[in-house]
Chains A and B, each alone.
Chain A
């Protein structure tokens, strides 16, 4: 009897091994703040490397992104995309766009309808964005990067789409394309928003991948973001061959994330940064109420983030320097308490 029953009941067990072909949502956040791209080009030409054969780096990046979006849509007929540009004045949803249907056809008309609908809107909105910036005034344009804001809005979009499609099991992932040159200083003050993004992405099981074009230093916070959400971090020099990167390393679908090995290089610097000075901190002080990390004892005996008062006795003790019997205060030596 068991011989018969076994064959029936064992048939179901092999199901666990198959990879489910579920549709997924891809959200791309592109850093389009022009000044960083210009800096990149200058660096590239300055260092003597061959320019991108006449075409602007930004244009090539745009093309690679468009083809990448098409590839994602081709992967599964239920896949969706979203493109967000983080420019100097804020962020803008390039696709899906709130504007009406595209009027200028900037993409080949032969293309598969499903792709063409997306691509046309993308390219047109991109064009419009630049045109608006051109006409904008100098004062409005700030040099700071709005990457964290764009990432947060991307995650809110993901959340909304996931809620809308609760019946179908939609997965999601986020790709950040950033052009990094002197981003180091800006990023320090975006530490908290980026950490918030990381936490919500982990909750939603949305993996964050990062492509950093140019720039000398690694962006530590984005690296931490990819590490925490099982994403891929890539640092490339320029946009040549970007499509190859995108179609290999960045093409790992959420359903494949458990089985494909990620090409991450290098180690991640997990240190956090101080709230007041912005420096990376290895040994420091922590407020016990709001857990903000400080590298120096804050003036005013209050926590700078939550205003909770610190016990003056403990502050005094922390401030004490090593003393010998002659009682002259010495060089300050701060330790962890």
Chain B
């Protein structure tokens, strides 16, 4: 670490040591002469340019150009012109190229970070964006997606999907209405305008509500967020990463260590963007991701301090996730629980993932880490979707049943569901009925049979008489058959089975169908109002009949109300028809009437039924 951060360098012809301190905030570069009396500090967030001699030249020099501080007052020279302030320049000479390269890289890294931070800040200032885009380096986030609202409590799924709960869940109903325009139309027409009680409206649509609730309440479960974040190497030596708010949220949930690091450092030491920039280049990130930490990894000094803390966290998690083995069957545990035995550490052959020298290549740690993560994810879903209501698994049940002696018990009797099938057999009574009803007497039948048999007795059956049928007969038969075939042929032409799709399609294409519809003789506005009226009338009729037929005396008031609604429907239909009639075009009136006549009949029938009932009630 220190190799990249310090080295021997000459400044203003004085030998000394150069050191880059990343801990400090902001990071800075300190040069101290060998005898200690001279030193220079450069704040790395005030650096404008970094230049180095090319590798081909003999000299090894590094030049740092600082930024112009706008706060310094500008001096004026004798003529009154502003003297352009020269930016501060520092030159360092090295004698070791590797050292120079290391320091150059470190400086580049840090300076780039600061520069990007600046640029994004400026961009934000210019665009006056309120929500800061959290990118480590120069890339915008996708649109902030709204977190799904919890319309139902998914933890208690069983109870939140009951009929009563759904009926009272107004938020759910509202969002469903927003989703479906058709439903909204019907709702407006019937509930808001005509006064159908909303309770009624939704009571026939419970399945819709349930389906909608389930489909919207689906959440993305926990997943390995970090593996989805892929740093993309771009030009000019930068690495871009795409991170959105949700992902950050999930990262904090899954990795408490990151949250701790965040809380510790932001906003105390550096801003959020710098935090993320550091994080995504740190060794901690690689470890959490499940990648090997290479020795040449740069890492990030500050963030990587949390690595050891993370190991603590891991140990704690492991203990929590441990499924305890019951003492009764943990033979190995019991054997090894011997204090005498617990002596030396097992040999390398008994420790997994370790080579003879006692070093592990880190593979084991990675696997353990991933397993730990997966188990945590599964655990987190314990209480979702009414899982608490599931019968608690009894871990001992299996063991207990095994131990029991059950072979002496009797077999459970086979549980048959008996189904008795009866066939309808004509009994004598029915037979008698048939006989009496038949108009043919036994005598006639006998006569017939005897005449046939005598005929057949006489001679061989002459089949050639069949060839002498009169042509009119055959012609008429043929005509009849051909007529039927013609009709069926036309039908089959129209109903071609599409060989590819396997379905029957009509010969007219979909486009033609649509255009046919629109030429429905009515102007679209009237058509729309007819449709709406039809829908609302059907709705009222449905509710009326459900309550009317139920025979429930408690619903009397409701039935009365619905009856009044039916009367309103009737009026509306009449008024619509009248208004259309009054226009000149009789054709339109005819069509409108044809469309609405059935609904009108149904409404009238319902009204009639109610009135009869009322009359009977009065007379009785």
Q: Which residues of A contact B (CB under 8 A)?
A: 34-35, 37-39, 41-42, 55-56, 58-59, 62-64, 66-67, 105-108, 123, 126-127, 130-131, 133-134, 138, 141-144, 182, 185-186, 189, 192, 240-241, 243-245, 248-249, 261-265, 275, 289-290, 304-308, 317, 320-328, 330-331, 333, 335
Cβ–Cβ contact A59 & B452, under 8 A = yes
**Can you list 26 A-B contacts with CB-CB less than 8 angstroms, sorted by A residue number?**
A34-B445, A35-B438, A38-B448, A42-B440, A64-B466, A106-B456, A106-B460, A127-B457, A142-B431, A142-B435, A243-B466, A244-B477, A261-B489, A263-B484, A264-B484, A264-B488, A305-B421, A306-B421, A317-B551, A321-B551, A322-B609, A323-B553, A325-B553, A326-B620, A330-B613, A333-B609
Within 8 Å of chain A (Cβ to Cβ): is B325? no
Question: How far is A323 from B550 in the complex, measured between Cα atoms in Å?
Answer: 8
Smallest CB gap from B455: residue in A: A59
Min CB–CB distance B304 → chain A (angstroms): 63
Please, which residues of chain A bring their CB within 8 A of the CB of B550? 317, 320, 322
Smallest CB gap from A122: residue in B: B461
Question: How far is A264 from B450 in the complex, measured between Cα atoms in Å?
Answer: 37
Within 8 Å of chain A (Cβ to Cβ): is B513? no
Known: A142-B431, A306-B420. A131 touches B549 (CB 8 A): no
How many inter-chain contacts with C-beta < 8 Å in the A-B complex?
Answer: 175
Please, which residues of chain B bring their CB within 8 A of the CB of A308? 419
Cβ–Cβ contact B474 & A333, under 8 A = no
Please, which residues of chain B bring their CB within 8 A of the CB of A55? 465
Please, which residues of chain B bring their CB within 8 A of the CB of A42? 439-440
Question: How far is A327 from B616 in the complex, measured between Cα atoms in Å?
Answer: 11
Cβ–Cβ contact A35 & B492, under 8 A = no
Question: A63-B463, A138-B442, A333-B609 provided; 11 other pairs, C-beta below 8 A?
Answer: A39-B438, A56-B455, A106-B460, A108-B462, A141-B442, A185-B437, A240-B469, A249-B481, A261-B485, A262-B485, A263-B484
Chain B CB count within 10 A is highest, among A186, A244, A324, for A324
Within 8 Å of chain A (Cβ to Cβ): is B449? yes
Question: How far is A333 from B463 in the complex, measured between Cα atoms in Å?
Answer: 61
Residue of A38, A142, A241, A306 near B477 (CB, 8 A) is A241
Smallest CB gap from A40: residue in B: B440
Known: A35-B438, A265-B484. A134 touches B446 (CB 8 A): yes
Please, which residues of chain B bring their CB within 8 A of the CB of A108? 460, 462-463
Chain B CB count within 10 A is highest, among A58, A143, A322, for A322
Question: How far is A192 from B488 in the complex, measured between Cα atoms in Å?
Answer: 30
Please, which residues of chain A bring their CB within 8 A of the CB of B422? 304-307
Please, which residues of chain B bring their CB within 8 A of the CB of A134? 446, 449-450, 453
Question: How far is A326 from B619 in the complex, measured between Cα atoms in Å?
Answer: 12
Please, which residues of chain B bring their CB within 8 A of the CB of A41? 448
Known: A240-B473, A321-B551, A331-B616. A133 touches B449 (CB 8 A): yes
Cβ–Cβ contact B449 & A143, under 8 A = no
Please, which residues of chain A bring their CB within 8 A of the CB of B616? 328, 330-331
Question: How far is A67 from B461 in the complex, measured between Cα atoms in Å?
Answer: 11
Cβ–Cβ contact B453 & A130, under 8 A = yes
Question: How far is A248 from B452 in the complex, measured between Cα atoms in Å?
Answer: 28
Cβ–Cβ contact B548 & A328, under 8 A = no
Chain B CB count within 10 A is highest, among A123, A264, A325, for A325
Residues of B within 8 A of A (CB-CB), count: 62
Please, which residues of chain B bring their CB within 8 A of the CB of A328? 616-617, 620
Cβ–Cβ contact A123 & B485, under 8 A = no
Question: How far is A326 from B440 in the complex, measured between Cα atoms in Å?
Answer: 57
Question: How far is A304 from B462 in the complex, measured between Cα atoms in Å?
Answer: 53
Cβ–Cβ contact B442 & A62, under 8 A = no
The main secondary structure of chain B at its interface with chain A is helix
Min CB–CB distance B609 → chain A (angstroms): 8
Please, which residues of chain A bring their CB within 8 A of the CB of B327? none
Within 8 Å of chain A (Cβ to Cβ): is B556? yes
Residues 482-519 of B contacting A (Cβ, < 8 Å): 482, 484-485, 487-489, 492
Question: How far is A18 from B230 in the complex, measured between Cα atoms in Å?
Answer: 60
Please, which residues of chain A bring their CB within 8 A of the CB of B455? 56, 59
Please, which residues of chain B bring their CB within 8 A of the CB of A244? 469, 473-474, 477-478
Cβ–Cβ contact A189 & B481, under 8 A = no
Please, which residues of chain A bring their CB within 8 A of the CB of B482? 263
Min CB–CB distance A241 → chain B (angstroms): 4
Known: A131-B453, A262-B488. A322 touches B551 (CB 8 A): yes
Question: How far is A143 from B435 in the complex, measured between Cα atoms in Å?
Answer: 6
Residue of B462, B463, B492 near A261 (CB, 8 A) is B492
Within 8 Å of chain A (Cβ to Cβ): is B451? yes
Known: A189-B426, A307-B422, A325-B553. A105 touches B460 (CB 8 A): yes
Question: How far is A308 from B613 in the complex, measured between Cα atoms in Å?
Answer: 35
Residue of B423, B460, B617 near A324 (CB, 8 A) is B617
Cβ–Cβ contact A324 & B620, under 8 A = no
Please, which residues of chain A bring their CB within 8 A of the CB of B451? 56
Within 8 Å of chain A (Cβ to Cβ): is B345? no
Cβ–Cβ contact A37 & B473, under 8 A = no
Question: How far is A108 from B488 in the complex, measured between Cα atoms in Å?
Answer: 40
Min CB–CB distance B474 → chain A (angstroms): 5
Cβ–Cβ contact A248 & B478, under 8 A = yes
Min CB–CB distance B442 → chain A (angstroms): 5
Please, which residues of chain B bring their CB within 8 A of the CB of A35? 438, 440, 444-445
Residue of B456, B474, B488, B613 near A241 (CB, 8 A) is B474
Min CB–CB distance A72 → chain B (angstroms): 15
Please, which residues of chain B bring their CB within 8 A of the CB of A66? 461, 463
Please, which residues of chain B bring their CB within 8 A of the CB of A37? 448
Please, which residues of chain B bring their CB within 8 A of the CB of A289? 419
Q: Which 8 A-B pairs have the closest CB atoms?
A: A320-B551, A263-B484, A307-B420, A241-B473, A325-B556, A35-B440, A265-B484, A263-B481
Please, which residues of chain B bring their CB within 8 A of the CB of A138? 442
Min CB–CB distance A76 → chain B (angstroms): 21
Please, which residues of chain A bring their CB within 8 A of the CB of B492? 261
Within 8 Å of chain A (Cβ to Cβ): is B103? no
Question: How far is A263 from B478 in the complex, measured between Cα atoms in Å?
Answer: 11
Question: How far is A34 from B614 in the complex, measured between Cα atoms in Å?
Answer: 57
Min CB–CB distance A17 → chain B (angstroms): 12
Please, which residues of chain B bring their CB within 8 A of the CB of A107? 460-461, 463
Question: How far is A307 from B417 in the complex, measured between Cα atoms in Å?
Answer: 12
Min CB–CB distance A60 → chain B (angstroms): 8
Within 8 Å of chain A (Cβ to Cβ): is B268? no
Cβ–Cβ contact A142 & B434, under 8 A = yes
Question: How far is A240 from B613 in the complex, measured between Cα atoms in Å?
Answer: 58
Please, which residues of chain B bring their CB within 8 A of the CB of A307? 419-420, 422
Please, which residues of chain B bring their CB within 8 A of the CB of A143? 431, 434-435, 438
Residue of A39, A245, A322 near B548 (CB, 8 A) is A322
Question: How far is A263 from B461 in the complex, measured between Cα atoms in Å?
Answer: 31
Residues 559-587 of B contacting A (Cβ, < 8 Å): 559
Please, which residues of chain A bring their CB within 8 A of the CB of B439? 39, 42, 182
Question: How far is A330 from B618 in the complex, measured between Cα atoms in Å?
Answer: 12
Within 8 Å of chain A (Cβ to Cβ): is B424? yes
Cβ–Cβ contact B434 & A185, under 8 A = yes
Within 8 Å of chain A (Cβ to Cβ): is B319? no
Question: How far is A34 from B451 in the complex, measured between Cα atoms in Å?
Answer: 12
Question: How far is A328 from B620 in the complex, measured between Cα atoms in Å?
Answer: 8
Smallest CB gap from B482: residue in A: A263
Question: How far is A44 from B617 in the complex, measured between Cα atoms in Å?
Answer: 55
Smallest CB gap from B488: residue in A: A261
Please, which residues of chain B bring their CB within 8 A of the CB of A130? 449, 452-453, 456
Please, which residues of chain A bring their CB within 8 A of the CB of B445? 34-35, 38, 141
Please, which residues of chain B bring their CB within 8 A of the CB of A264? 484, 488
Within 8 Å of chain A (Cβ to Cβ): is B3? no
Min CB–CB distance A192 → chain B (angstroms): 7
Residue of A127, A243, A317, A321 near B453 (CB, 8 A) is A127
Please, which residues of chain B bring their CB within 8 A of the CB of A38? 440, 444-445, 448
Please, which residues of chain A bring their CB within 8 A of the CB of B488? 261-264
Cβ–Cβ contact B466 & A67, under 8 A = yes
Please, which residues of chain B bring their CB within 8 A of the CB of A335? 545, 549
Chain A CB count within 10 A is highest, among B448, B609, B616, for B448
